[in-house]
Chain A
Amino acid sequence: MARRALSVSVKSGIGAAALVVALIVAALLAVVSRAEVGAGFLSSDWAAIRFTVWQAVLSALFSVVLAVPVARAFARRRFRGRAILVTLLGAPFILPVIVAVLGLLTVFGRSGWLNVVFEAVGLPPVSIYGLHGVVLAHVFFNLPLATRLLLQGWQTLPAERFRLAAQLRLTPWAMFRTLEWPLLRQVVPGVTALIFVICLTSFAVALTLGGGPKATTVELAIYQAFRFDFDLGRAALLSVTQLVLAGAAAVLALSIIPSISMGGGQDRPLRRWDALGGAQRVQDTVVITLAAAFLLLPLCAVVLRGMAGLAVMPPQVWAAAGLSLYVAIISVLVLLALALPMAGWIASGRTGGTEAIGLLGLSASPLMIGTGWFILINPLMNPADLALPVTALVNALMALPFCLRIMVPRLRDTLQDFGRLSVTLRLKGWPLWRWVILPRLAPQIGFAAGLTGALSVGDLGVITLFADQERATLPLQMYRLMGAYQMEAAAGAALLLLVMALGIFWVCDRGGRWHAEA
Chain B
Amino acid sequence: MKYLALAATTTLAATAAAADTPELVVYTYDSFVSDWGPGPQIEKAFEETCACDLKFVGNGDGAALLARLKLEGTRSDADLVLGLDTSLIAAAKETDLFTETAVTADYALPIDWTDNTFAPYDWGYFAFVHNTDLTPPANFKALGKSDLKIVIQDPRSSTPGLGLLMWVKDAYGAEATAIWEGLADNVVTVTKGWSEAYGLFLEGEADMVLSYTTSPAYHIIAEEDESKAAAIFDEGHYMQIEVVGRLAGSDQPELAEKFMHFMVSDAAQSILPTTNWMYPAVMPSGGLPQGFEALVKPENARLIDADKVPALRDEALAEWLGALSQ
Given contacts A227-B67, A384-B57, A482-B199, contact A212 B34 (CB under 8 A): no
Chain A residue at minimal CB-CB distance from B158: A228
Q: How far is the CB of A13 from chain B (nearest CB, A)?
A: 23
In the bound complex, residues from chain B placing their C-beta under 8 Å from that of A210 are 189-190
Among A207, A226, A479, point to the contact of B67 (Cβ < 8 A).
A226
Contact A212 B67 (CB under 8 A): no
A479 to B187, CA, bound (A): 23
Given contacts A378-B75, A483-B34, A484-B31, contact A211 B202 (CB under 8 A): no
Chain B residue at minimal CB-CB distance from A211: B189
Cβ of B63 under 8 Å from chain A:
yes
Contact A468 B58 (CB under 8 A): yes
Cβ of B154 under 8 Å from chain A:
yes
A385 to B12, CA, bound (A): 10
Contact B190 A213 (CB under 8 A): yes
> Per-residue CB proximity of B35-51 to A under 8 Å, as 1/0?
11101000000000000
Interface of chain A, main secondary structure: helix
Cβ of A326 under 8 Å from chain B:
yes
> Per-residue CB proximity of A198-216 to B under 8 Å, as 1/0?
0000000001111111100
Given contacts A382-B77, A469-B56, contact A213 B154 (CB under 8 A): yes
Q: Which residues of B in the span 46-85 have a Cβ within 8 Å of any Cβ on A? A: 55-60, 63-64, 66-68, 70-72, 75, 77
Contact B203 A212 (CB under 8 A): no
Cβ of B257 under 8 Å from chain A:
no
Given contacts A229-B156, A487-B199, contact A385 B11 (CB under 8 A): yes
A192 to B98, CA, bound (A): 52
Chain A residue at minimal CB-CB distance from B40: A469
Among A208, A230, A379, point to the contact of B191 (Cβ < 8 A).
A208
Contact B203 A109 (CB under 8 A): yes
Contact B199 A224 (CB under 8 A): no
Q: How far is the CB of B90 from chain A (nearest CB, A)?
A: 14
* Cβ-Cβ contact count across A and B, 8 Å cutoff: 143
Q: Which residues of B in the span 5-47 have a Cβ within 8 Å of any Cβ on A? A: 7, 11, 30-31, 33-37, 39
A250 to B58, CA, bound (A): 37
Among B199, B218, B325, point to the contact of A212 (Cβ < 8 A).
B325
Count of interface residues, chain A, beta-carbon cutoff 8 Å = 52
A80 to B72, CA, bound (A): 59
> Per-residue CB proximity of A109-134 to B under 8 Å, as 1/0?
11100000000000000010100000
Cβ of A280 under 8 Å from chain B:
no
In the bound complex, residues from chain B placing their C-beta under 8 Å from that of A480 are 30-31, 34-36, 195
> Per-residue CB proximity of B178-196 to A under 8 Å, as 1/0?
0000001001111111111
> Per-residue CB proximity of A314-326 to B under 8 Å, as 1/0?
1010000000001
A133 to B184, CA, bound (A): 17
Q: Which residues of B in the span 223-279 have a Cβ within 8 Å of any Cβ on A? A: 277
Among A127, A129, A213, point to the contact of B321 (Cβ < 8 A).
A213
Cβ of A237 under 8 Å from chain B:
no
Contact A464 B60 (CB under 8 A): yes
In the bound complex, residues from chain B placing their C-beta under 8 Å from that of A129 are 188-189
In the bound complex, residues from chain A placing their C-beta under 8 Å from that of B193 are 483
Given contacts A210-B189, A212-B189, A469-B57, contact A484 B36 (CB under 8 A): yes
A227 to B161, CA, bound (A): 14
In the bound complex, residues from chain A placing their C-beta under 8 Å from that of B205 are 105, 109-111
A75 to B203, CA, bound (A): 39
A233 to B205, CA, bound (A): 37
Cβ of B99 under 8 Å from chain A:
no
In the bound complex, residues from chain B placing their C-beta under 8 Å from that of A374 are 71
Among A44, A211, A326, A485, point to the contact of B222 (Cβ < 8 A).
A485
A8 to B234, CA, bound (A): 75
Contact B157 A227 (CB under 8 A): yes
Chain B residue at minimal CB-CB distance from A485: B218
A224 to B68, CA, bound (A): 13
Contact B203 A483 (CB under 8 A): no
Q: How far is the CB of A465 from chain B (nearest CB, A)?
A: 8
Given contacts A227-B64, A378-B75, A469-B56, contact A482 B196 (CB under 8 A): yes
A211 to B197, CA, bound (A): 12
Cβ of A297 under 8 Å from chain B:
no
In the bound complex, residues from chain B placing their C-beta under 8 Å from that of A12 are none
Chain B residue at minimal CB-CB distance from A127: B188
Q: How far is the CB of B154 from chain A (nearest CB, A)?
A: 7
In the bound complex, residues from chain A placing their C-beta under 8 Å from that of B77 are 382
A210 to B192, CA, bound (A): 11
Q: How far is the CB of B115 from chain A (nearest CB, A)?
A: 22
Cβ of A354 under 8 Å from chain B:
no
Given contacts A214-B325, A483-B194, contact A110 B204 (CB under 8 A): yes
Cβ of A91 under 8 Å from chain B:
no
Q: Which residues of A in the span 326-340 have a Cβ within 8 Å of any Cβ on B? A: 326, 330
Chain A residue at minimal CB-CB distance from B31: A483
Cβ of B141 under 8 Å from chain A:
no
Contact B204 A109 (CB under 8 A): yes
Cβ of B206 under 8 Å from chain A:
yes
Contact B206 A110 (CB under 8 A): yes
Please indicate which of the listed interface residues A34, A226, A469, A481 has the most CB atoms of chain B within 10 Å of its own CB.
A469
Cβ of A68 under 8 Å from chain B:
no
Cβ of A375 under 8 Å from chain B:
yes
A62 to B326, CA, bound (A): 25
Cβ of A9 under 8 Å from chain B:
no
In the bound complex, residues from chain B placing their C-beta under 8 Å from that of A44 are 321, 325
Cβ of B97 under 8 Å from chain A:
no
In the bound complex, residues from chain A placing their C-beta under 8 Å from that of B199 are 482, 487, 490
Contact B157 A212 (CB under 8 A): no
In the bound complex, residues from chain A placing their C-beta under 8 Å from that of B39 are 469
Cβ of A486 under 8 Å from chain B:
yes
Contact B3 A326 (CB under 8 A): yes
Among A214, A228, A314, A382, point to the contact of B157 (Cβ < 8 A).
A228
Cβ of B171 under 8 Å from chain A:
no
In the bound complex, residues from chain B placing their C-beta under 8 Å from that of A127 are 188
A371 to B199, CA, bound (A): 28
Please indicate which of the listed interface residues A209, A371, A483 has the most CB atoms of chain B within 10 Å of its own CB.
A483
Contact B71 A371 (CB under 8 A): yes
Q: Which residues of A in the span 176-217 have a Cβ within 8 Å of any Cβ on B? A: 207-214
Chain B residue at minimal CB-CB distance from A477: B34
Cβ of B324 under 8 Å from chain A:
yes
Q: How far is the CB of B69 from chain A (nearest CB, A)?
A: 9
In the bound complex, residues from chain A placing their C-beta under 8 Å from that of B277 are 485
Contact B34 A379 (CB under 8 A): no
Cβ of A5 under 8 Å from chain B:
no
In the bound complex, residues from chain A placing their C-beta under 8 Å from that of B55 are 468-469
Q: Which 5 A-B pairs have the closest CB atoms?
A: A111-B204, A484-B36, A483-B195, A483-B31, A480-B34
> What are 25 sample pairs from A and B whose C-beta atoms fall under 8 A apart?
A105-B203, A110-B204, A207-B196, A208-B189, A208-B196, A214-B326, A223-B192, A227-B64, A314-B36, A371-B71, A375-B71, A382-B77, A385-B11, A464-B64, A468-B55, A469-B55, A480-B31, A480-B34, A480-B35, A480-B36, A483-B195, A485-B36, A485-B277, A487-B199, A487-B202
Known: A110-B188, A213-B320, A484-B35. 10 other contacts (CB 8 A): A111-B203, A214-B325, A224-B156, A226-B67, A230-B70, A314-B35, A371-B71, A374-B71, A479-B30, A482-B195
